[in-house]
Amino acid sequence: MSVGTLPLLTPGDLSSDREVRWCPGCGDFSILAQLKRVLATLGVPRENFVFVSGAGCASRLPYYLSTYGFQGSCGRAPALATGVKLASPNLDVWVVTGDGDALSVGSNHLIHALRRNVDLKILLFNNEVHGRSRGQASPTTRVGTCTKTSPEGAFETPLRPLSIALAAEASFVARTIDVDVNHLGDVLERAAAHRGAALVEVYQNCKIYNDGAFDYATDASIKAETVIHLEHGRPLLFGKDRNQGLRLNGFEPEVVTLGHGITIDDILIHDEKATEPTLAFLLSRLIGPHFPECLGVFRSVQRPTFQQLLDDSFRQGDPPSSLASLLAGDDSWVVA
Protein backbone atom coordinates (compact mmCIF):
# COMPACT_ATOMS: atom_id res chain seq x y z
CA MET A 1 0.00 0.00 0.00
CA SER A 2 1.45 3.36 -1.03
CA VAL A 3 1.83 6.24 1.38
CA GLY A 4 -1.33 8.35 1.59
CA THR A 5 -3.73 5.68 0.36
CA LEU A 6 -6.35 3.94 2.43
CA PRO A 7 -7.35 0.27 2.27
CA LEU A 8 -10.72 -0.23 0.63
CA LEU A 9 -13.57 -0.93 3.00
CA THR A 10 -16.03 -3.78 2.60
CA PRO A 11 -19.65 -3.74 3.78
CA GLY A 12 -18.57 -6.12 6.51
CA ASP A 13 -16.06 -3.58 7.80
CA LEU A 14 -18.97 -1.23 8.43
CA SER A 15 -21.01 -3.72 10.47
CA SER A 16 -21.03 -3.27 14.23
CA ASP A 17 -21.15 -6.11 16.74
CA ARG A 18 -24.70 -5.21 17.79
CA GLU A 19 -27.56 -7.59 17.05
CA VAL A 20 -29.85 -6.00 14.48
CA ARG A 21 -33.20 -5.76 16.21
CA TRP A 22 -35.80 -4.90 13.65
CA CYS A 23 -38.85 -7.02 13.01
CA PRO A 24 -38.37 -9.93 10.56
CA GLY A 25 -39.22 -8.71 7.07
CA CYS A 26 -38.72 -5.02 7.89
CA GLY A 27 -37.58 -2.90 4.96
CA ASP A 28 -34.89 -1.36 7.17
CA PHE A 29 -32.71 -4.44 6.64
CA SER A 30 -32.50 -3.73 2.91
CA ILE A 31 -31.72 -0.05 3.47
CA LEU A 32 -28.94 -0.89 5.93
CA ALA A 33 -27.39 -3.41 3.52
CA GLN A 34 -27.36 -1.01 0.59
CA LEU A 35 -26.09 1.85 2.73
CA LYS A 36 -23.09 -0.21 3.88
CA ARG A 37 -22.38 -1.21 0.29
CA VAL A 38 -22.40 2.41 -0.85
CA LEU A 39 -20.35 3.72 2.08
CA ALA A 40 -17.66 1.14 1.37
CA THR A 41 -17.14 2.57 -2.12
CA LEU A 42 -16.69 6.23 -1.12
CA GLY A 43 -13.03 6.04 -0.12
CA VAL A 44 -13.83 7.62 3.25
CA PRO A 45 -12.33 6.12 6.42
CA ARG A 46 -14.82 4.82 8.95
CA GLU A 47 -13.80 7.40 11.53
CA ASN A 48 -14.92 10.19 9.21
CA PHE A 49 -18.53 8.98 9.08
CA VAL A 50 -21.03 10.21 11.67
CA PHE A 51 -24.62 8.99 11.77
CA VAL A 52 -27.10 11.00 13.84
CA SER A 53 -30.63 9.84 14.56
CA GLY A 54 -33.67 10.73 16.63
CA ALA A 55 -36.48 8.43 17.74
CA GLY A 56 -38.27 5.52 16.10
CA CYS A 57 -37.38 2.26 14.40
CA ALA A 58 -35.19 3.87 11.71
CA SER A 59 -33.20 5.70 14.36
CA ARG A 60 -31.66 2.46 15.61
CA LEU A 61 -29.53 2.32 12.46
CA PRO A 62 -26.42 4.04 13.92
CA TYR A 63 -26.07 1.16 16.40
CA TYR A 64 -25.60 -1.26 13.51
CA LEU A 65 -22.76 0.63 11.81
CA SER A 66 -19.12 0.55 12.85
CA THR A 67 -18.83 4.33 12.55
CA TYR A 68 -19.35 7.23 14.89
CA GLY A 69 -22.99 7.66 15.80
CA PHE A 70 -25.29 9.58 18.07
CA GLN A 71 -28.95 9.03 18.90
CA GLY A 72 -30.64 12.17 20.12
CA SER A 73 -34.16 12.94 21.21
CA CYS A 74 -37.23 12.84 19.00
CA GLY A 75 -37.00 15.14 15.98
CA ARG A 76 -33.72 16.80 16.91
CA ALA A 77 -31.36 14.86 14.63
CA PRO A 78 -31.01 17.61 11.97
CA ALA A 79 -30.09 20.18 14.61
CA LEU A 80 -27.56 17.87 16.26
CA ALA A 81 -26.08 16.92 12.90
CA THR A 82 -25.79 20.59 11.94
CA GLY A 83 -23.68 21.19 15.02
CA VAL A 84 -21.44 18.23 14.24
CA LYS A 85 -20.93 19.32 10.63
CA LEU A 86 -20.16 22.94 11.45
CA ALA A 87 -17.74 22.01 14.22
CA SER A 88 -15.93 19.44 12.01
CA PRO A 89 -16.56 20.18 8.32
CA ASN A 90 -14.27 17.33 7.24
CA LEU A 91 -16.72 14.71 8.52
CA ASP A 92 -19.35 12.98 6.38
CA VAL A 93 -22.48 13.53 8.45
CA TRP A 94 -25.66 11.54 7.82
CA VAL A 95 -29.08 11.88 9.44
CA VAL A 96 -31.32 8.84 9.82
CA THR A 97 -34.94 9.58 10.61
CA GLY A 98 -38.49 8.40 10.00
CA ASP A 99 -41.74 10.00 8.94
CA GLY A 100 -42.92 10.34 12.54
CA ASP A 101 -39.59 11.58 13.87
CA ALA A 102 -38.85 14.05 11.07
CA LEU A 103 -42.29 15.41 10.25
CA SER A 104 -44.03 15.78 13.59
CA VAL A 105 -41.91 17.29 16.39
CA GLY A 106 -38.88 17.42 14.07
CA SER A 107 -40.41 19.22 11.09
CA ASN A 108 -39.03 22.64 11.93
CA HIS A 109 -35.48 21.33 12.42
CA LEU A 110 -35.69 19.47 9.09
CA ILE A 111 -36.95 22.49 7.15
CA HIS A 112 -34.20 24.80 8.39
CA ALA A 113 -31.39 22.30 7.80
CA LEU A 114 -32.61 22.06 4.20
CA ARG A 115 -33.09 25.78 3.57
CA ARG A 116 -29.64 26.51 5.02
CA ASN A 117 -28.16 23.86 2.72
CA VAL A 118 -26.12 22.30 5.52
CA ASP A 119 -23.93 19.58 3.99
CA LEU A 120 -25.93 16.67 5.46
CA LYS A 121 -27.25 13.48 3.89
CA ILE A 122 -30.73 12.99 5.35
CA LEU A 123 -32.37 9.57 4.96
CA LEU A 124 -36.08 9.70 5.74
CA PHE A 125 -37.52 6.20 6.10
CA ASN A 126 -41.21 6.58 5.31
CA ASN A 127 -43.47 3.67 6.26
CA GLU A 128 -46.47 5.99 6.75
CA VAL A 129 -47.03 4.83 10.33
CA HIS A 130 -45.55 5.23 13.80
CA GLY A 131 -43.98 1.77 14.03
CA ARG A 132 -42.08 2.32 17.28
CA SER A 133 -45.26 3.70 18.88
CA ARG A 134 -47.12 0.48 18.10
CA GLY A 135 -48.91 1.50 14.95
CA GLN A 136 -50.25 4.99 15.48
CA ALA A 137 -51.03 7.14 12.45
CA SER A 138 -48.08 9.33 11.40
CA PRO A 139 -47.95 12.68 9.57
CA THR A 140 -47.67 10.79 6.24
CA THR A 141 -50.43 8.21 6.81
CA ARG A 142 -52.68 8.21 3.76
CA VAL A 143 -56.37 8.97 4.03
CA GLY A 144 -58.36 5.81 4.70
CA THR A 145 -55.49 3.85 6.28
CA CYS A 146 -56.60 1.95 9.40
CA THR A 147 -54.17 2.28 12.31
CA LYS A 148 -54.28 1.97 16.10
CA THR A 149 -55.29 5.63 16.34
CA SER A 150 -57.47 5.65 13.21
CA PRO A 151 -59.32 2.31 13.38
CA GLU A 152 -61.99 3.56 10.99
CA GLY A 153 -59.47 5.05 8.58
CA ALA A 154 -57.24 8.11 8.75
CA PHE A 155 -58.95 11.32 7.68
CA GLU A 156 -56.24 13.95 8.17
CA THR A 157 -54.44 15.34 5.12
CA PRO A 158 -51.00 13.68 5.00
CA LEU A 159 -47.76 15.61 4.63
CA ARG A 160 -45.65 14.95 1.55
CA PRO A 161 -41.99 14.95 2.55
CA LEU A 162 -40.56 15.82 -0.85
CA SER A 163 -42.97 18.70 -1.35
CA ILE A 164 -41.84 20.12 1.98
CA ALA A 165 -38.16 19.66 1.05
CA LEU A 166 -38.60 21.40 -2.30
CA ALA A 167 -40.53 24.27 -0.73
CA ALA A 168 -37.60 24.64 1.69
CA GLU A 169 -35.24 24.99 -1.31
CA ALA A 170 -33.38 21.71 -0.67
CA SER A 171 -30.63 21.35 -3.25
CA PHE A 172 -30.98 17.55 -3.60
CA VAL A 173 -34.30 15.73 -3.30
CA ALA A 174 -34.93 12.09 -4.21
CA ARG A 175 -37.23 9.16 -3.53
CA THR A 176 -36.52 5.45 -3.71
CA ILE A 177 -37.93 2.24 -2.27
CA ASP A 178 -36.53 -0.41 0.04
CA VAL A 179 -36.86 -3.57 -2.08
CA ASP A 180 -35.56 -2.13 -5.36
CA VAL A 181 -31.96 -2.54 -4.25
CA ASN A 182 -30.33 -1.35 -7.48
CA HIS A 183 -32.38 1.85 -7.55
CA LEU A 184 -31.86 2.36 -3.81
CA GLY A 185 -28.10 1.99 -4.16
CA ASP A 186 -27.94 4.37 -7.13
CA VAL A 187 -29.89 7.07 -5.28
CA LEU A 188 -27.74 6.70 -2.16
CA GLU A 189 -24.62 7.09 -4.31
CA ARG A 190 -26.03 10.26 -5.86
CA ALA A 191 -26.88 11.68 -2.44
CA ALA A 192 -23.44 10.82 -1.04
CA ALA A 193 -21.74 12.66 -3.91
CA HIS A 194 -23.88 15.79 -3.52
CA ARG A 195 -22.39 18.82 -1.78
CA GLY A 196 -25.12 20.38 0.30
CA ALA A 197 -28.33 19.24 1.96
CA ALA A 198 -29.55 16.00 0.39
CA LEU A 199 -32.92 14.52 1.37
CA VAL A 200 -33.71 10.95 0.33
CA GLU A 201 -37.18 9.63 1.10
CA VAL A 202 -37.17 5.83 1.20
CA TYR A 203 -40.53 4.08 0.98
CA GLN A 204 -40.08 1.38 3.60
CA ASN A 205 -42.51 -1.42 4.32
CA CYS A 206 -43.56 -1.91 7.94
CA LYS A 207 -44.37 -5.60 8.10
CA ILE A 208 -46.26 -5.32 11.37
CA TYR A 209 -48.33 -2.15 11.28
CA ASN A 210 -48.67 -1.09 7.63
CA ASP A 211 -47.76 -4.13 5.56
CA GLY A 212 -48.22 -3.80 1.81
CA ALA A 213 -48.59 -0.02 1.78
CA PHE A 214 -46.30 0.21 -1.26
CA ASP A 215 -47.32 -2.96 -3.11
CA TYR A 216 -48.46 -0.81 -6.03
CA ALA A 217 -44.81 0.26 -6.50
CA THR A 218 -43.22 -3.16 -5.98
CA ASP A 219 -45.62 -5.69 -7.52
CA ALA A 220 -44.05 -6.68 -10.85
CA SER A 221 -47.47 -7.21 -12.42
CA ILE A 222 -48.62 -3.59 -11.94
CA LYS A 223 -45.71 -1.30 -11.05
CA ALA A 224 -45.02 -0.33 -14.67
CA GLU A 225 -48.43 1.34 -14.66
CA THR A 226 -48.11 3.01 -11.27
CA VAL A 227 -44.52 4.30 -11.14
CA ILE A 228 -42.45 6.71 -13.21
CA HIS A 229 -38.68 6.38 -12.90
CA LEU A 230 -37.25 9.86 -13.26
CA GLU A 231 -34.35 10.32 -15.69
CA HIS A 232 -32.79 13.71 -16.25
CA GLY A 233 -33.45 15.05 -19.73
CA ARG A 234 -35.83 12.22 -20.59
CA PRO A 235 -39.61 12.36 -21.20
CA LEU A 236 -41.88 11.35 -18.33
CA LEU A 237 -43.11 8.07 -19.78
CA PHE A 238 -44.46 4.99 -18.05
CA GLY A 239 -46.57 1.91 -18.67
CA LYS A 240 -45.74 -1.61 -19.75
CA ASP A 241 -45.35 -0.42 -23.34
CA ARG A 242 -43.91 2.98 -22.38
CA ASN A 243 -46.78 4.57 -24.25
CA GLN A 244 -48.24 6.68 -21.44
CA GLY A 245 -46.86 9.97 -20.26
CA LEU A 246 -47.45 13.22 -18.43
CA ARG A 247 -48.19 16.56 -20.00
CA LEU A 248 -49.49 19.88 -18.73
CA ASN A 249 -53.00 21.06 -19.40
CA GLY A 250 -52.66 24.67 -18.34
CA PHE A 251 -51.20 24.36 -14.85
CA GLU A 252 -52.60 20.88 -14.27
CA PRO A 253 -50.78 17.61 -15.04
CA GLU A 254 -52.62 14.94 -16.97
CA VAL A 255 -51.93 11.41 -18.12
CA VAL A 256 -52.04 10.89 -21.89
CA THR A 257 -51.45 7.96 -24.23
CA LEU A 258 -49.21 8.29 -27.26
CA GLY A 259 -51.04 8.11 -30.55
CA HIS A 260 -54.21 9.70 -31.95
CA GLY A 261 -52.58 13.11 -32.14
CA ILE A 262 -50.46 12.77 -29.00
CA THR A 263 -46.73 12.64 -29.76
CA ILE A 264 -43.57 12.38 -27.70
CA ASP A 265 -43.18 16.15 -28.11
CA ASP A 266 -46.27 16.64 -25.94
CA ILE A 267 -44.69 14.83 -22.98
CA LEU A 268 -42.98 16.72 -20.17
CA ILE A 269 -39.19 16.41 -19.98
CA HIS A 270 -37.69 15.87 -16.55
CA ASP A 271 -35.11 18.49 -15.56
CA GLU A 272 -33.51 17.83 -12.18
CA LYS A 273 -31.12 20.75 -12.78
CA ALA A 274 -33.80 23.41 -13.17
CA THR A 275 -33.09 26.53 -11.12
CA GLU A 276 -36.71 26.78 -10.05
CA PRO A 277 -38.18 23.62 -8.44
CA THR A 278 -41.65 24.21 -9.90
CA LEU A 279 -41.85 21.06 -12.02
CA ALA A 280 -40.16 18.96 -9.36
CA PHE A 281 -42.75 20.19 -6.86
CA LEU A 282 -45.55 19.22 -9.21
CA LEU A 283 -44.06 15.72 -9.59
CA SER A 284 -43.69 15.36 -5.83
CA ARG A 285 -47.45 15.74 -5.44
CA LEU A 286 -48.49 13.02 -7.86
CA ILE A 287 -50.21 10.13 -6.12
CA GLY A 288 -52.39 7.20 -7.15
CA PRO A 289 -54.83 6.08 -8.25
CA HIS A 290 -55.16 8.89 -10.78
CA PHE A 291 -51.43 9.42 -11.31
CA PRO A 292 -48.28 7.32 -11.19
CA GLU A 293 -45.85 8.14 -8.38
CA CYS A 294 -42.30 9.20 -9.17
CA LEU A 295 -39.11 7.50 -8.01
CA GLY A 296 -35.64 8.91 -8.56
CA VAL A 297 -33.93 12.29 -8.26
CA PHE A 298 -36.40 15.18 -8.36
CA ARG A 299 -33.84 17.94 -7.92
CA SER A 300 -30.04 18.17 -7.94
CA VAL A 301 -28.63 21.68 -8.08
CA GLN A 302 -25.54 23.33 -6.67
CA ARG A 303 -25.68 26.36 -4.41
CA PRO A 304 -23.38 27.51 -1.61
CA THR A 305 -23.49 25.39 1.51
CA PHE A 306 -24.15 26.90 4.91
CA GLN A 307 -20.48 26.41 5.85
CA GLN A 308 -19.36 28.33 2.74
CA LEU A 309 -21.76 31.19 3.45
CA LEU A 310 -20.65 31.28 7.05
CA ASP A 311 -16.98 31.40 6.10
CA ASP A 312 -17.70 34.13 3.54
CA SER A 313 -19.49 36.24 6.15
CA PHE A 314 -16.47 35.99 8.46
CA ARG A 315 -14.07 36.87 5.66
CA GLN A 316 -16.05 40.03 4.92
CA GLY A 317 -15.75 41.11 8.55
CA ASP A 318 -13.15 40.70 11.22
CA PRO A 319 -11.26 37.46 11.89
CA PRO A 320 -11.67 34.61 12.64
CA SER A 321 -12.31 33.26 9.16
CA SER A 322 -14.07 30.02 10.17
CA LEU A 323 -16.48 28.71 12.76
CA ALA A 324 -13.85 26.24 13.97
CA SER A 325 -11.35 29.00 14.77
CA LEU A 326 -14.10 31.05 16.42
CA LEU A 327 -15.01 28.20 18.72
CA ALA A 328 -11.37 27.43 19.49
CA GLY A 329 -10.30 31.03 20.03
CA ASP A 330 -9.73 32.94 23.27
CA ASP A 331 -11.77 35.99 22.30
CA SER A 332 -14.87 36.91 24.28
CA TRP A 333 -18.20 36.74 22.48
CA VAL A 334 -20.39 39.81 22.49
CA VAL A 335 -24.05 39.41 21.60
CA ALA A 336 -25.39 42.60 20.08
Q: Who contacts 45 (Cβ-Cβ below 8 Å, separation ≥6)?
A: 6
pLDDT at residue number 322: 58
- The predicted structure's pLDDT at residue 165: 98
Q: Is the dihedral of CA 108, 190, 202, 174 positive or negative?
A: positive
- Is pLDDT of 8 > 80? yes
- What is the CATH superfamily name and number for domain 11-234+271-300? Thiamin diphosphate (ThDP)-binding fold, Pyr/PP domains (3.40.50.970)
Q: 56-115: per-residue pLDDT in tens?
A: 999 999 999 999 999 988 889 999 999 999 999 999 999 999 999 999 988 999 999 999
Question: Per residue in 126-149, pLDDT tens?
Answer: 999 988 777 889 999 999 888 888
Sign (positive/negative) of CA torsion 156, 108, 100, 175?
positive
Say what the pTM is. 0.91
The enclosing H or E element of 190 equals helix 181-193
Least confident of 153-157, 167-171, 237-241, 264-268: 153-157
Q: How many Cβ atoms are within 10 Å of 19's Cβ, its own excluded?
A: 7
Mean pLDDT of 13-37: 95
Structural domain boundaries in the chain: 11-234+271-300, 235-269
In this predicted structure, the answer to whether residue 170 has a pLDDT above a threshold of 70 is: yes
Measured distance CA(256)–CA(250) in Å, rounded: 14
Q: Is the pLDDT of residue 1 over 50?
A: no
User: Is 70 exceeded by the pLDDT of residue 326?
Assistant: no
CB 193 within 8 A of CB 185: no
Mean pLDDT of the chain: 92
Question: Residues 325-329: what's their mean pLDDT?
Answer: 66
**DSSP per residue, 23-55:** -TT-THHHHHHHHHHHHHTTT--GGGEEEEE-S
